[in-house]
Structure 1
Amino acid sequence: MEKKPAVIASSCDELVLEMEKMLAATDPSVEWPRWSKPSIYRVPQWLKKMTHGAEDADEAYPPRLVSLGPFHHDDPDLLPMEEHKRRAVLHMAKRSGKPLREIFAAVEEVADELMDAYHDLDEKWRCRAERARFLQVMVVDGCFLLEIMKGLAHKKAPDDYAPNDPVFSAQGMLSLWVGIRSDMLMIQNQVPLLALYKLEAFLSGRRGIISVAQCAKDINKMVLDFMCDPLKAAKLAEGIDGLCLHPLDIFHKSFCGLHPPSRGSYVWESSVPSAVELRDAGIHLKKSKTVSVNGIEFKNGVLSLPALSIHDGTKKIFLNLMAFERLHSDTGTIATDYMIFMDNIIDSERDVALLRSKGIIKNLLSSDKDAADLYNTLSRGAVLSPYSKLQDVRRQVNAHCNNTWNKWKTYFRHAYLKNPWVFISLMAAVILLIATLLQTIYTVWGFYRPSSTS
């Protein structure tokens, strides 16, 4: 019994020595590169259940048609597309006249960077035996995306496919576009654009001919054209500096805007009233001119909100954007802040109907109630950033609603302007009052005014 303290002390010494070896890794210069390398993540179970509910926590993040990257590579439901992905590699190699070995060698130059992009990548992919398999995933998935995106951009299938090809004919690519685009927005289903950059530069024969910056801009624009409206994509592509991380990163930039808004003051502000209550308080709701969600502003009693379409795939897209912001801290919180703000002003289908009438929401769901439920569940477990510009918007809106003069105007509008008969009665009473007052003044003035004869 007397030896127990010595045993405990020995165990503590070993623990201390082990942790002292880790002290050097706590230096910011060491930790910063460690956290800045990954950009593609598996969504942890706690985040799935917090944001989406335990009943269907695993439905929002996996792909349904095609696997991209190593995380879902062996999913049985996605294996049917593997044959078509490999065919894309063979067709592109044959078309370019480049040997397959050299194509793999071009991507192998950046293999370590590609692996580092995946957070908690299984070590099996890093061992020598599986490294070639990882390169195969990058080449096959990268070529598949390039073939699909170029085909749709040119509105024409490559000539070396059969006209009835189920995937790479004009009809095949058009019919699969929605499903492929949806899977490209899943945070766990990403291919680094660095892989596409290396493949495009090598297969097109442009490596060394055009600048690195121009080639990166071309890749960004190609993905933007595929993911977004082409007119919007052209404008965005000009403003992006350098190669983006992956397709979801590009979509996030198009959704939130390239230039983040100025940071708000670090002061917490309570939630704002619903859209209907804001209208009743005299605030005008207006569709903003900006297309990104950071364009929410309040000025001179007008709340400007960006227009947005709501459809069957919107919920999955929003959840993946929010997960990307949660897991990749360099991304900011603009999308999450937008979801929280919209949850504030949407309480019921009446609010959705009002926003729809203003052109702020284009609802493609079956009812306004479905759209209201979507926004009401999206921000579960999320908190508006204290540095968000929307904290200041909340403060301005609440100050407008709490202003005494604005309250009186609101009361007057509700009490007398909503019903035309009440308004007519009010006007009649005012006219009668003014007439009585004028008659009284005239009588008094005539009584006290000196007679002209006297």
Structure 2
Amino acid sequence: MENNGGRPTAPGPQRNRSADNHVSINIENLNLAFSVQEKLMSLPTLSSECCIFRVPEKLRHSHKEAYMPRVVAIGPYHRHSQSVMQMEDHKLRYLQSFLGHNQNCRLEDYIKRIRSWEDRARSYYDKQIDLSSDEFTEMMLLDGIFAIQLFLMYWNLEGTPNSDRIFGKPWMLNDVRRDMMLLENQMPFFAIEGLFEMALGSHQRHTPVLLELTYGFFMPGVKMEEVPEAVMESEVKHFLDAIRLSYLPSAKKAPYDINEEVKLIPSVTELVAAGVKLKRGKSNRLFDIGFNNGVLEIPRLSLYHTTESYFRNLIAFEQIYYQGNSYLIDYIVFMDHLVNTPADSKMLIDLGIIENWLGNEDAAADLINSFCKDTFLWTRNAYFYSLRHELVAYCQRPYNKWKTSLKRDYCSSPWVVLSIMTAVVLLTLTVVQTACSLLSLK
């Protein structure tokens, strides 16, 4: 080796800086691609069976309490909420009682069957459920048996002990019923039905089927034999879905052209001013609204303090899952158009069309008007499309307006009518007298 006497050697050829940058960028791109690929691989698949949703923020933000459980959690979304923790021990008591009275299957049999449904049950939720297989299976077992035992006890109230945490306190029963209607507080109906069949399938001669028990619990006061065919013949997704199905009209209407205009109907006050007569319908089905010979019949709508939560969750479910069949949304929009002011709601209350437990007509009007905020009506399936057109056309006829104006201005009381009749008689006599005088001059 040649000695350079301690002098520094001459530098070799310089590396190409652009090439280094190019290699660095390629490595960064590969790392980012690998990271994105990992996310794609871990992305949960969208199931066609997904039907239990978190309520969208645009619906939730101003009415959060309407979607939150108060005393009991069903399913995974609210199981750690502080307000529902006390009911978890009661679920264990119901399981203990259920196992004691239904000995067709052992606890291990129920667990084994539920675990076999786990993948399908998870696919019902729109969010990935961060629970182990054991945790998820236990939750499904406790919640499913809780619902079955609750329905059976409600069906046989005479045999329910007064010490029961739910049935011993009427307000608690109402809160439980309310909570089990919430969209975010559901579990797959097929799982509850499967547990029911395991326990009672071969011993149901004296026990209603699960759908009848469900309908009886959520529709208190309605007879079992009145369970709508739409409920009994459908593949029910969960409790809220069963409730919605019970409202649907028996006869569906063909969808309309999406380009056709949906008429904005006049308010109650405007309808009456145009000559429309309002009448409470005899049917107890909300969709049986009819208009014949100037008479608009509307079935009674009951407004309780739980009605807000009830309808908001039905509306949210339809808006997310049943966009092409948003019948309840169409009904709510129809009622919203009828009620613009407290005067409109007062008229409906006076006629018995609205049963108001909210205190006054202002509260009734505010509640009905608030339902449609941030709610989208899918116009192709507007069930009351034709009815809207009929009402608008009737109100636009000049003859109806003239007739109503005549009644209002000149027939408002018997004395006014008597005065008009007297004036007509006097006018007639004057004309006759004048005619006779002219004839006598000839």
TM tier, shorter chain? 0.7 to 0.9
Question: Which aligned pairs between 1:371-410 and structure 2 lie closer than 5 A?
Answer: 371-387=364-380, 388-410=382-404
Specify the SS of the correspondent of 2:222: helix
Question: Which aligned pairs between 1:223-238 and structure 2 lie closer than 5 A?
Answer: 223-231=214-222, 233-238=224-229
Q: What TM-score does the superposition give when structure 1 sets the normalisation length?
A: 0.81
Question: Which aligned pairs between 1:199-278 and structure 2 lie closer than 5 A?
Answer: 199-204=195-200, 206=202, 218-231=209-222, 233-239=224-230, 240-264=232-256, 266=258, 267-278=260-271
Using the TM superposition, give the Cα deviation of residue 354 of structure 1 relative to its aligned residue in structure 2, in angstroms.
1.3
Task: Give the letter aligned to residue 110 of structure 2.
Answer: I
Distance 2:154 2:94 in 1: 14
Using the TM superposition, give the Cα deviation of residue 40 of structure 1 relative to its aligned residue in structure 2, in angstroms.
0.8
Distance 2:242 2:276 in 1: 34
Question: Which aligned pairs between 1:410-421 and structure 2 lie closer than 5 A?
Answer: 410-421=404-415
Using the TM superposition, give the Cα deviation of residue 442 of structure 1 relative to its aligned residue in structure 2, in angstroms.
4.0
Distance 1:224 1:297 in 2: 26
1:179 lines up with 2:198 in the alignment: no
Task: Give the letter aligned to residue 113 of structure 2.
Answer: A
Partner of residue 352 from structure 1, selected from 324, 342, 345:
345
| Residue 58 to residue 421, structure 1, CA distance change in 2 (3 Å) | same
Distance 2:158 2:113 in 1: 28
Distance 2:201 2:415 in 1: 78
Contact 1:264 1:390 in 2 (8 A): no
1:313 lines up with 2:306 in the alignment: yes
Contact 1:268 1:391 in 2 (8 A): no
- Cα root mean square deviation, aligned: 3.1
Using the TM superposition, give the Cα deviation of residue 38 of structure 1 relative to its aligned residue in structure 2, in angstroms.
1.0
Q: What is the match of residue 27 of structure 1?
A: none
Q: What is the match of residue 81 of structure 1?
A: 87
Distance 2:420 2:222 in 1: 53
| Residue 289 to residue 262, structure 1, CA distance change in 2 (3 Å) | farther
Using the TM superposition, give the Cα deviation of residue 44 of structure 1 relative to its aligned residue in structure 2, in angstroms.
2.0
Question: Which aligned pairs between 1:105-254 and structure 2 lie closer than 5 A?
Answer: 105-122=112-129, 124-125=130-131, 130-157=132-159, 163=161, 165-167=163-165, 171-172=168-169, 174-204=170-200, 206=202, 218-231=209-222, 233-239=224-230, 240-254=232-246
Bigger Cα displacement from structure 2, 59-68 vs 111-120: 111-120
Contact 1:152 1:226 in 2 (8 A): yes
Contact 1:260 1:294 in 2 (8 A): no
Distance 1:444 1:359 in 2: 59
Unaligned 5+ residue runs, structure 2? 1-16
Contact 1:221 1:237 in 2 (8 A): no
Distance 1:422 1:348 in 2: 30
How many residues align? The count is 409
Task: Give the letter aligned to residue 178 of structure 2.
Answer: S
Using the TM superposition, give the Cα deviation of residue 447 of structure 1 relative to its aligned residue in structure 2, in angstroms.
5.9
Distance 1:269 1:336 in 2: 14
Using the TM superposition, give the Cα deviation of residue 438 of structure 1 relative to its aligned residue in structure 2, in angstroms.
2.7
Using the TM superposition, give the Cα deviation of residue 276 of structure 1 relative to its aligned residue in structure 2, in angstroms.
2.1
Using the TM superposition, give the Cα deviation of residue 149 of structure 1 relative to its aligned residue in structure 2, in angstroms.
1.0
Specify the SS of the correspondent of 2:279: strand
Bigger Cα displacement from structure 2, 266-275 vs 350-359: 266-275
Distance 1:400 1:331 in 2: 29
Q: What TM-score does the superposition give when structure 2 sets the normalisation length?
A: 0.83
Task: Give the letter aligned to residue 288 of structure 1.
Answer: G
Using the TM superposition, give the Cα deviation of residue 419 of structure 1 relative to its aligned residue in structure 2, in angstroms.
4.6
Using the TM superposition, give the Cα deviation of residue 175 of structure 1 relative to its aligned residue in structure 2, in angstroms.
4.7
Using the TM superposition, give the Cα deviation of residue 421 of structure 1 relative to its aligned residue in structure 2, in angstroms.
4.2
**Greater helix fraction, Structure 1 or Structure 2:** 1
Distance 1:339 1:2 in 2: 66
Specify the SS of the correspondent of 1:304: strand
Task: Give the letter aligned to residue 365 of structure 2.
Answer: A
Distance 1:330 1:88 in 2: 37
Deviations 1:183-221 (A, max 9, x none): 0111000122112111111122529x99xxxx9x81111
Using the TM superposition, give the Cα deviation of residue 389 of structure 1 relative to its aligned residue in structure 2, in angstroms.
2.8
Distance 1:252 1:107 in 2: 26
Q: What is the match of residue 361 of structure 1?
A: 354
Distance 1:70 1:84 in 2: 17
